[in-house]
Amino acid sequence: VRLDALPLTPNGKLDRKALPAPDSHAYTTRLYEAPVGDMEIKLAALWAQLLKVERVGRHDHFFELGGHSLLAVTLIERMRKDGMEADIRVLFGQPTLALVAAAVGEVRPIDVPMTTIPALTRKRSI
């Protein structure tokens, strides 16, 4: 939708309620291709739940489906809880389901040896 000028409120801010609804050509459409493999299927389920969409295809774009930075952080955290290791930079750099799935690794437990912390003895003076 093209506008000659943006509608403004009396305070000079954008009046979102006065904006016209976008027409059908404003949305990007892709042919649906089902997720392939366990990783893509797990990720598609997480994306669908988080973005509140019915289904997510291999070439669907996280941000075009309604994702934003806060949802991206939430997604990465949910992925970690489900045992998938990912960096948020991967999602921003490769925002389609297939590319994210290819970049995601399984979380490997890290064996950290137990160490003792020596107690400090201090003499108190009054």
| Angle separating helix axes 37-51 and 69-81, nearest 10 degrees | 130
Name which of 39, 118, 50 is nearest 82 in CA terms: 39
Name which of 74, 64, 76 is nearest 104 in CA terms: 76
**Position 45, amino acid:** A
CATH number of 37-106: 1.10.1200.10
Mean pLDDT lowest among 4-13, 87-96, 104-113: 104-113
| Confidence (pTM) | 0.63
Report long-range pairs for 83-89 (Cβ below 8 Å, ≥24 apart). 83/107, 84/39, 84/42, 84/43
- 15-31 confidence digits (pLDDT tens): 999 988 777 665 566 78
Span 93-103, mean pLDDT?
A: 93
Q: Which structure tokens are listed for 13? A: 């801010």
Domain boundaries, the chain: 37-106
**Quick one: DSSP state of residue 26?**
G
